[in-house]
Amino acid sequence: MRPIPLPTGPEQESVWDYPRPPAVEAIDARVTVEFGGVVLVDTSDVVRVLETSHPPVYYLPLTAFAPDSVAPGRGASFCEFKGAARYFDLVAGGRRAERAAWEYPSPSPGFEVLVGRIAVYAGRVDRCTVDGETVVPQPGGFYGGWITHHVVGPFKGGLGSMGW
């Protein structure tokens, strides 16, 4: 059963207005990722994927990450919309976050803009920001959406959301 969307305020989006299949858009925002006491990436070259019931997933250029901070990770997964994903570990400050990021090296048609970009699980690093605001990870640990004050849910990933 579809949940009741929360009301939006000024400058807010409801994830229930996002499309399925998802949309991809470039945005004007500054994004940072911090881990192990190091800023791994600080970029304004940002693309986000918007999918019904999910907070946005932010994709950042792999080339913008600090040298030696991204290492091949184990495993793979498949998205019905974007295709086959592979994972990366993030490494900094003597620490390693396993499977903390992923990419679609050969995405499905319509998602070609994701080539050369990776997304980061906010809950597996120390801090991610969008325009200076610290993001909250999407609930559940499986999905990689970032929650800011600009989006309202309820969000898929938490208890009871499996059938959404």
25 vs 142 pLDDT, higher one: 25
* 133-137 long-range contacts, CB within 8 A, separation 24+: none
Query: What element of type H or E holds 84?
Result: strand 83-92
> What distance in Å separates the CA atoms of residue 112 and residue 80, rounded to the nearest whole number?
15
State the average pLDDT over residues 155-163. Answer: 88
pLDDT digits (tens, 9 = 90+) for 35-90: 999 999 999 999 999 999 999 999 999 999 999 999 999 999 999 999 999 999 99
- 13-152: CATH topology: 2.170.150
pLDDT digits (tens, 9 = 90+) for 102-135: 999 999 999 999 999 999 999 999 999 999 999 9
